[in-house]
Amino acid sequence: MTPTSYIFTPILLASFLFFGWSCYRRFVLVTVGSAEDRFSNPGKRIGEMLLYAFGQKRVVSRPFGINHFVIFWSFLILLVANGEFMLHGVFAGISLTLLPERLYLVVMLLIDLASLLALAAVVVAAVRRIIFPPYPTARTIEAFFILGLIATLMLAYYGINGAKITTLDEGGRLLAQSWMPLSSFAATLIPQGAGTLIYGISWWLHAAALLVFMNFLPYSKHMHILTAIPNCFFRRLEKPNTQPREEFAHGKSYGADRIDQLTWKDLFDAYSCTECGRCQNACPASATGKPLNPRQVIHDLKTNLLANGPLLRKGGSPTLPLLGDSGEGSISEEAVWSCTTCGACMESCPVFIEQMPKLISLRRHLVEMESRFPEELLNLFENMEQRSNPWGIAPSERTKWSSTLPVKPFVAGETEYLLFVGCAGAFDSRNKQVTVALATVLDAAGVSWGILGKDENCCGDSLRRLGNEFAFDKMATENSRLFRERGVTKVITQCPHCFSTLKNDYRQYGLELEVVHHTVLINDLLTAGRLKLDHTVTDLGKIVFHDSCYLGRHNDVYDAPRQLLAQTTGHEPIELPRNRENSFCCGAGGGRMWLEEHTGTRINHNRVEEALFANPDTICVSCPYCLTMFEDGLKDKLSEQTRVRDLAEVVAEGLHRG
């Protein structure tokens, strides 16, 4: 061993021991969370991990993501260099020079280039945080400290290798210029005779930066370097648009108001957050001045876990409340109720953190354990439980929309599809027009369909998203029983919320239905030639299309509505700046349809203003909630020249003239 080895070896050993101890202290706290299976189907999970963690698919989907991609892959390449650095520091005989010459030269070229790319990416990241921060609070000392450490590592690397090159003969220097061009350039900057001094300074500077960086990770947001890859492995393989079904029993607690009432994956998410701000920028509540910030929610979970986790592991009680206004580490109730469950936060997160389900767990506790919820919801819950619709209208009124149509009841064996009208389609005066249009289109195409009439109940979407799982459970159980008794296997819905709930949530009740949204079915009928239009609809003028969150992000239905509009009007609709998976919520999801917005600006105003910027004649939608929110927003904005149409209405216009 060399003199350097005698000094470096105990420092390295102590650093690894401290790093291991720090990681254990952090990761063991995850075990206070409840059980959840995230290990099934390992083959698919590995494939998803390779695509999203190593392939950085979601990261590079945004313009600045390529910079992180460069840093990530540069670091993977530099693992070889840093591994050799530590081993060589302990055992002088271990070196990359032991590799075959050609392989050694290729490795050194890759390391030389990767160091430059990493250094350039760090400079770009620092400039971005100074001039164009991803969110207002992104300029933190920690962020610049980490960037400084990475830059130090790269510069020290060039100092080490540049100093080595100064000791080579002319042939060695010529070879280095070809395979280590950047280190060779660094060598030209070293004064003659100063190579040994520069080497020693650079070597210890590299060692210090590397060990400080390693041991700082568990105590910073950059812990995601350790957790992001496994978090991609543990992602939900299906869309995270359903909550676990609760088993109701006397004395049992529901939802979460303590950190240990969340699952271990929820807690692991808290360690995986990169604080990139993508969820915050995508969130409609955050964008309109509400107290909800998805990034801050995950940060508060982490803070709460670090504060309460050690106490809970020892059998104690938490001291920092998870719910409330206690500052950092607590989530305010107003923030909890601000969520529209649009899923934009989850869609934008590069490491698959699931913010929305955590908020619904908090809602469940507030509703089911403490009966504490916004006052406006009291009537909603009572109406749902007593008359199975949000307005509390008598069930006998469910068929009034069909007074001018020869609508038949659903009969198993005779009727192919059940048309699940939904509460808005049956009771809301504006959406009744959509139901009539849809029925007209189905009849024109010769589709065999029927309704349940007054026996139809609400699907319970709003109840579940608002945290009233007990009422939802009763409703879903009753609906599942009714569907089985009536022999229903195929369902048409015009509401994406009904579509998603019947298709996804009801599977937890053993009900496997073939559910189709009306835009998909009508598009298929047109494509197959079963539905023929009398004429192309040309009187709608300039059309923009708005994506419903529960049809698009929650269920990946993007193309059918656009194809339907193109077939009906003869041209593609104009796309809003925020469209498809990046669409902006209308503000009505997650039960917010029944709640007023008392803080900030209205979400539907934000979306309506975006639509009006395109100066459209018609805004096309595919959801009753979106229809209502857009029409209300247009009235508030005094925009009388723009109208809102559901796609079924557009198609119905093409069936007859006049």
According to the model, what pLDDT value does residue 650 have? 96
Q: Is 352 exposed, middle or buried (0-12, 13-18, 19+ CB in 10 A)?
A: buried
According to the model, what pLDDT value does residue 598 have? 92
Q: What percentage of the chain has pLDDT greater than the value 90? A: 77
C-alpha triplet 121, 124, 129: angle, nearest 5°: 125
**pLDDT of 510 higher than 70:** yes
- Tell me which residue of 598, 496, 489 sits closest to 551, measured CA to CA: 496
3-state secondary structure 202-254: HHHHHHHHHHHHHHHHHHCHHHHHHHHHHHHHCCCCCCCCCCCCCCCCCCCCC
Distance in angstroms (rounded) separating the CA atoms of residues 226 and 214: 10
Q: Count CA atoms within 13 Å of residue 586 on its CB side.
A: 28
What is the per-residue pLDDT across 442-501, written as a single tens digit (0 to 9) for each? 999 999 999 999 999 999 999 999 999 999 999 999 999 999 999 999 999 999 999 999
Q: Under a CB-based contact definition with an 8 Å cutoff, are residues 604 and 645 in contact?
A: no
Distance in angstroms (rounded) separating the CA atoms of residues 199 and 16: 24
Distance in angstroms (rounded) separating the CA atoms of residues 111 and 154: 10
According to the model, what pLDDT value does residue 390 have? 95
Q: With H, G, I as helix, E, B as strand and everything else as coil, classify residue 418.
A: strand
According to the model, what pLDDT value does residue 141 have? 87
What is the per-residue pLDDT across 530-569, written as a single tens digit (0 to 9) for each? 999 989 998 899 999 999 999 999 999 999 999 999 999 9
According to the model, what pLDDT value does residue 101 have? 86
Radius of gyration of the chain (CA): 30
pLDDT band, very low/low/confident/very high, at 425 (cuts 50, 70, 90)? very high
Residue bearing the bigger pLDDT, 170 or 355: 355
Contacts of 635 (CB under 8 A, 6+ apart): none
DSSP state string for 35-47:
P----SSHHHHHH
- Tell me which residue of 426, 549, 428 sits closest to 493, measured CA to CA: 426
Instruction: Compute the average pLDDT of residues 130-155.
Output: 87
DSSP state string for 26-37:
HHGGGGGSBP--
Enumerate helices (H) and strands (E) in the chain, giving the number of each. Answer: 27, 8
- Tell me which residue of 370, 594, 369 sits closest to 465, measured CA to CA: 594
What is the per-residue pLDDT across 229-263, written as a single tens digit (0 to 9) for each? 999 999 998 887 788 888 888 888 999 999 999 99
Sign, Cα dihedral of 270, 557, 504, 394: positive
Lowest mean pLDDT among 164-178, 284-298, 518-532, 601-615: 164-178
pLDDT band, very low/low/confident/very high, at 658 (cuts 50, 70, 90)? very low
DSSP state string for 481-547:
HHHHHHT--EEEES-HHHHHHHHTGGGGGT---EEEEHHHHHHHHHHHTSS--SS---TT-SEEE--
**pLDDT of 359 higher than 70:** yes
Tokens at residue 561, please?
């509505």
Distance in angstroms (rounded) separating the CA atoms of residues 412 and 409: 10
Q: With H, G, I as helix, E, B as strand and everything else as coil, classify residue 649.
A: helix
Distance in angstroms (rounded) separating the CA atoms of residues 29 and 331: 20
Residue whose pair of structure tokens reads 């992104």 in the numeric block: 138
What is the per-residue pLDDT across 10-67, written as a single tens digit (0 to 9) for each? 999 999 999 999 999 999 999 999 999 999 999 999 999 999 999 999 999 888 889 9
Q: Which amino acid is at 224?
A: H
Distance in angstroms (rounded) separating the CA atoms of residues 387 and 178: 80
Residue bearing the bigger pLDDT, 606 or 238: 606
**Which residues make beta-bridge pairs with 420?**
493
DSSP state string for 364-415:
HIIIIIT----THHHHHHHHHHHHSSTT---GGGGGGGGTTS---B--TTT-
According to the model, what pLDDT value does residue 1 have? 64
Distance in angstroms (rounded) separating the CA atoms of residues 230 and 496: 33
pLDDT band, very low/low/confident/very high, at 142 (cuts 50, 70, 90)? confident
CA 433 remoteness from chain centre: 34
* Mean pLDDT of all residues belonging to the chain: 93
Distance in angstroms (rounded) separating the CA atoms of residues 493 and 242: 18
Residue bearing the bigger pLDDT, 241 or 384: 384
